[in-house]
Structure 1
Amino acid sequence: MTNNIVNRVLEHLNAMIGNENIVVEKNAVFGFDGTIRLKGIEFLYTSKNIVTNSNFGSVQKELMELQERTEKPILFIVGSIYPTLAKELVENGFYYIDAAGNCDIRAEDVLLYVEGKKNANNGIANNHKMKGRLFQVAGLKIVFELLNNPGLIQQPYREIQQVTGVSLGSINIVMKELENSNFLVSSEKGKLLKNKKQLLDRWAIGYNETLKPKLLKNRMTFKNEEIRREWSQITLPTETHWSGEPGASIKSGYLLPEIFTIYSNRNVGELVKAGFRPKDDGEIFVYQKFWIDISVQKTVPPLLIYADLMGSGISRNIETAQIILENELQHIK
């Protein structure tokens, strides 16, 4: 699929600067898809099918890691990307062009800027979906618990069912898909998760795309500015926890929250008693708690804080997600 995208992008570049000013080579620095010269200026390029808020964090993180390997400019070729996300990539020093011809490439003698073109190939947006059960709702709940508690992989399926609330049939299917996807290995000593960091990133994308949108209950705001300033001192109802920016602030002390994420099994009335009030465009997003354990912790598990930060598509949150990964999720690396 990405080869088709690259070919379409080359057609757009040809129309803009002429074929004689374009040279493409497939042999590239490790991690890149190839090299492209535009008017003699060499770019290393990498390509993706689609970028949305759900996977923007992992895409930007990957680009930043690639940039550390080279001093040459990076051209990001993408089938489809939201304009706001493309703008953020550019602000962070990357050049891009999409399959519709939208681009921002301003390096030395190359000055190309196009916006507002719609992508006619709707198939691009449909092909990035993850297949099978592994990253659908049941699979996402199972993988969440397995990453949260690595020892759970050794337990009988009935134990996993009690923890996840997922049927035995779905657990059996997901386990087979984990093994077929090279995330699970079975031996005489039992089962063991492998490639856990890759599994975490795949899970975070799947969670933000598939499960999280189904969990949104309502939006709220703080009753007054004083409560907002002292948000960390609020006594939350039972089975109610901070995630995202406030969760990261509590865990790392690094982030000053602007958007507030809460997971809760409680009704609006109990949240109102705690210091919130309903508001359609409020800065507090309240999600249904989807895991079973009853915890008195003020925050959700670090795994979920990481996913919420990565799914936000905001650079400062992505940076904080890496701090959470380093400090709170060592068992996954």
Structure 2
Amino acid sequence: MAQSTARERQVLDLCLASLHALPDCRPEFIPAPEPEAGGTLEMHGPWGCCRYRVVAVTRMTPQTAELIVHRHRLDPPSIPQMVMTDYVSAGCGETLRQEGIEYIDTAGNAFLRQPGLLVEISGRKKASRTPKAGRGFQPTGLRLIHLLLRKPEALNWTYRRLSNEAGLALGAVGPVLKELQQRGFAQPDDNGRLHLCNRTELFHRWEIGYLERLRPKLLLDICRPAADLALTALPDLIVKQGLQGQLQVGGELGAALVLQGTRPQRATLHIQDDPLALMLRLRLVPDADGNISLLRALDPRLGKDPKNARLTLADPLLLHAETTGGGNHADELAQQIYQRYLARHLSPRSTHRSQDATHESR
């Protein structure tokens, strides 16, 4: 894990105070050695002693809860885990409890279940707000992290090249890189070259930030296909209209094209051009309840090569984020994307030269 932020440390302190308030409960928190975050929690009481690995989540939303559940299913923990977070609403608590995921928040809401220990508290009001997250996990920083996760070697590019390829202001690059080093996500070797560390945790944090903060800012419109047009016919229509180089296909449709043999229910199109013109050419109808989301593409170079004859799919990072928590079918797609494309790429043992994970077909 990476170095704790001030906000994470405050969440941990307030959650520990909530644990101390439980009757006959004596918690003992053992911080992980720097530069790691979280730590180990030992709970002592009349029932005996139990031990947890602490996972800090600074902001719990329904999407975050679904991601935690998905991660729990994908990689079940070998020892009990306790999620410490700012506030668990009734809906989020139900999601976590159904999966058997233990938690406590800064207001004292809790779900603990170990031999001899059973605590369930809900309905307490939200505690005072904790400090704002660092710049690295705000929309601007998330754009840069997306590039670094795709191409870890980019850590050693010039600031100007990073700003051009991530689509952010030149002055924003340095502070984000500095924060990544402070958190333990980027570390120099003996020759001074930076290496991306703790990739899996960085990906999980990026995914939460993307869904909560960045994606809403990228959303241009929501629509549906014309009545006589099936969602699965959209790729052929994109090719017929010569729009291959103008957009990236993501969401369930993009994942289905990568994995093959699955029937998608929703789609995301990442674009840089006028959404209305695109909708007219692809026969898409504006609909707030539609199954196609139009997003401003993260890649600022998209559309600069209109002669590209191949249909481009969103990279696996985006495909996973856009399918996780979307229901059983979508979660299955996300799991397959992770196992096939992300597990090795994010592995700490991965020493191969990273390649841009953008998919192309047709």
Q: TM-score, normalised by structure 2?
A: 0.70
Q: What amino acid maps onto 1:210 in structure 2?
A: R
Please, which of 200, 203, 211 is the counterpart of residue 197 of structure 1?
A: 200
Q: Secondary structure at the match of 1:221?
A: strand
CA–CA distance in structure 1, aligned partners of residues 225 and 276 of structure 2: 13
In the TM superposition, residue 304 of structure 1 has moved relative to its aligned partner by 1.8
Q: What amino acid maps onto 2:69 in structure 1?
A: Q
CA gap 1:114/1:195 in 2 versus in 1, 3 angstroms = closer
**Counterpart of 1:274?**
282
Q: What amino acid maps onto 2:128 in structure 1?
A: N
CA–CA distance in structure 1, aligned partners of residues 114 and 182 of structure 2: 44
Superimposed CA distance per residue, residues 133-161 of structure 1 (whole angstroms, 9 cap, x where no aligned partner): x2333322222222222343343333333
CA–CA distance in structure 2, aligned partners of residues 26 and 178 of structure 1: 25
Are the aligned partners of 2:65 and 2:96 in contact in 1 as well (CA < 8 Å)? no
CA–CA distance in structure 1, aligned partners of residues 233 and 67 of structure 2: 32
Which runs of structure 2 are paired with 1:191-230 in the superposition (5 Å)?
191-224=194-227, 227-228=230-231, 230=233
CA–CA distance in structure 1, aligned partners of residues 280 and 164 of structure 2: 32
Q: What amino acid maps onto 2:167 in structure 1?
A: G
CA–CA distance in structure 2, aligned partners of residues 216 and 206 of structure 1: 15
CA–CA distance in structure 1, aligned partners of residues 154 and 115 of structure 2: 55
CA gap 1:56/1:297 in 2 versus in 1, 3 angstroms = farther
Please, which of 5, 17, 21 is the counterpart of residue 7 of structure 1?
A: 17
**Counterpart of 1:50?**
59
Moved more, 43-52 or 298-307: 43-52
Q: What amino acid maps onto 2:157 in structure 1?
A: Q
In the TM superposition, residue 68 of structure 1 has moved relative to its aligned partner by 3.7
CA–CA distance in structure 2, aligned partners of residues 206 and 3 of structure 1: 23
**Counterpart of 1:122?**
128
CA–CA distance in structure 1, aligned partners of residues 219 and 17 of structure 2: 39
Instruction: Kindly indicate whether residue 340 of structure 2 is the aligned counterpart of residue 327 of structure 1.
Output: yes
Are the aligned partners of 2:103 and 2:112 in contact in 1 as well (CA < 8 Å)? yes
Superimposed CA distance per residue, residues 241-297 of structure 1 (whole angstroms, 9 cap, x where no aligned partner): 222333222223486544432222242242243142111222322211121233744
Superimposed CA distance per residue, residues 186-219 of structure 1 (whole angstroms, 9 cap, x where no aligned partner): 5537443333333322322332333222111111
State the identity %.
22
Moved more, 35-44 or 220-229: 35-44
Q: Secondary structure at the match of 2:322?
A: helix
Which runs of structure 2 are paired with 1:136-215 in the superposition (5 Å)?
136-182=138-184, 183-185=186-188, 187-188=190-191, 190-215=193-218
Instruction: Kindly indicate whether residue 255 of structure 2 is the aligned counterpart of residue 248 of structure 1.
Output: yes
Which consecutive residues of structure 2, in runs of 5 or more, have no partner in the other structure?
1-9, 32-37, 303-307, 348-362
CA gap 1:112/1:194 in 2 versus in 1, 3 angstroms = closer
CA–CA distance in structure 1, aligned partners of residues 336 and 180 of structure 2: 27
In the TM superposition, residue 300 of structure 1 has moved relative to its aligned partner by 0.9
Q: What amino acid maps onto 1:122 in structure 2?
A: S
Runs of at least 4 residues off by over 6 Å: 106-111
Are the aligned partners of 1:43 and 1:75 in contact in 2 as well (CA < 8 Å)? no
Please, which of 318, 329, 339 is the counterpart of residue 304 of structure 1?
A: 318
CA–CA distance in structure 2, aligned partners of residues 193 and 234 of structure 1: 39
Are the aligned partners of 2:220 and 2:296 in contact in 1 as well (CA < 8 Å)? yes
Q: What amino acid maps onto 1:195 in structure 2?
A: N
Q: What amino acid maps onto 2:149 in structure 1?
A: L
CA–CA distance in structure 1, aligned partners of residues 68 and 190 of structure 2: 34
Q: Secondary structure at the match of 1:242?
A: strand
CA gap 1:33/1:66 in 2 versus in 1, 3 angstroms = farther
CA–CA distance in structure 1, aligned partners of residues 40 and 331 of structure 2: 24
RMSD (Å) for aligned C-alpha atoms: 3.8
CA–CA distance in structure 1, aligned partners of residues 166 and 271 of structure 2: 17
CA–CA distance in structure 1, aligned partners of residues 166 and 59 of structure 2: 31
**Counterpart of 2:352?**
none
Q: Secondary structure at the match of 2:313?
A: coil
In the TM superposition, residue 314 of structure 1 has moved relative to its aligned partner by 5.6
Q: Secondary structure at the match of 1:235?
A: helix
- Aligned pair count? 318
Superimposed CA distance per residue, residues 29-81 of structure 1 (whole angstroms, 9 cap, x where no aligned partner): xx8732446773865444534322454355335655885414xx665454312
CA gap 1:317/1:41 in 2 versus in 1, 3 angstroms = farther
CA–CA distance in structure 1, aligned partners of residues 77 and 148 of structure 2: 32
Q: Secondary structure at the match of 1:50?
A: coil
Moved more, 314-323 or 2-11: 314-323
